[in-house]
Structure 1
């Protein structure tokens, strides 16, 4: 099974297209903030959340329940693709329905191996993978630059180091981020 969660009007052939809005005519109407979800354990080989996760889980408890459900319904080695607006881009900042920034660094908190490494090093990051009993690891990461940064990078006018510094200092450098997680299950 492939789940396109929060599909909106972007329905994909060969996927179960899921949305909370019946008016969009998804394959299944599901409120993703109400857990447990209506699917069995280990059934999804692939999950897509394109501009969805930043809208879900307004409280930490609800967000962690959503992450736990993603893990639960994922088959071993399932790929979970998360596409989100960058938290320092106007498209994130101007939308009142965005309830939380989603960052690669935040998603690392669900990686058990990282949790164990941090514990050994005395790092104070919250080991959510260990706490929740889930294990999601980042296998791909891609940032999409916004103009004029994209044009400058393509023209070789700005180095990678300068782009990283710009991302830390300015808004509207990166428009969105795509993270692919893998559900590590034995």
Structure 2
């Protein structure tokens, strides 16, 4: 099963298109903030969350329950593609329905090996993967640049290092980010 969660009006052929707004005529009407979700354990081979995750989980506990549900329904090796607005872009900042920024670094908190590495080296990051008993690997990250940064990067007028520095200092450098996760569920990552 392939799930297009929070599909809005962006329906995809070959996918189960899911939204909480029945007026958008999804294949399934589901409120993703209400857990448990209606799908069986290990039932999804691929999931798309396009400009959805930043809208979910009004409390930290609810957001963590959503991440746990996401892991529960994923088959071993399932891939989750997430598109989110960059937290320093106007499209994120100006939308009152955006609850929290979603970043690749924040999603590393759900990676068991990273949690163990941090614990071993004394880093104080919250080991959410170990606490929740879930495990997601961040496989890829892609940033989509806003103009004039995009043209400057394409022409070579600005270096990759300068773009990283600009992202730290300025708003509206990156429009959105694509993050590819993988659900790790093999015995090698099982909790004791």
TM-score, structure 2 normalization: 0.96
Is 1:108 equivalent to 2:111 in the alignment?
no
> 2-side partners of 1:96 and 1:131: how far apart?
30
Give 1:176's aligned residue.
176
Cα RMSD, aligned residues only: 0.3
- How many residues get paired? 186
> 1-side partners of 2:112 and 2:23: how far apart?
39
Deviation at 1:140, TM superposition (A): 1.0
Give 2:66's aligned residue.
66
Give 1:157's aligned residue.
157
> 2-side partners of 1:42 and 1:6: how far apart?
20
Give 1:91's aligned residue.
91
Specify the SS of the correspondent of 1:158: coil
Deviation at 1:58, TM superposition (A): 1.2
> 2-side partners of 1:130 and 1:58: how far apart?
22
Specify the SS of the correspondent of 1:58: coil
Give 1:123's aligned residue.
123
> 2-side partners of 1:108 and 1:137: how far apart?
7
Q: Deviations over 1:96-131 (max 9, x none)?
A: 000000000100000000000000100000000000
> 1-side partners of 2:163 and 2:173: how far apart?
8
> 2-side partners of 1:185 and 1:14: how far apart?
25
Deviation at 1:168, TM superposition (A): 0.2
> 2-side partners of 1:57 and 1:35: how far apart?
11
> 1-side partners of 2:50 and 2:16: how far apart?
14
Give 2:189's aligned residue.
none
Give 1:48's aligned residue.
48
> 1-side partners of 2:58 and 2:152: how far apart?
37
After the TM superposition, list the runs of 4 or more consecutive aligned residues in structure 1 that deviate by more than 4 angstroms: none
Unaligned residue ranges in structure 1 (runs of 5+): none
Deviation at 1:67, TM superposition (A): 0.2
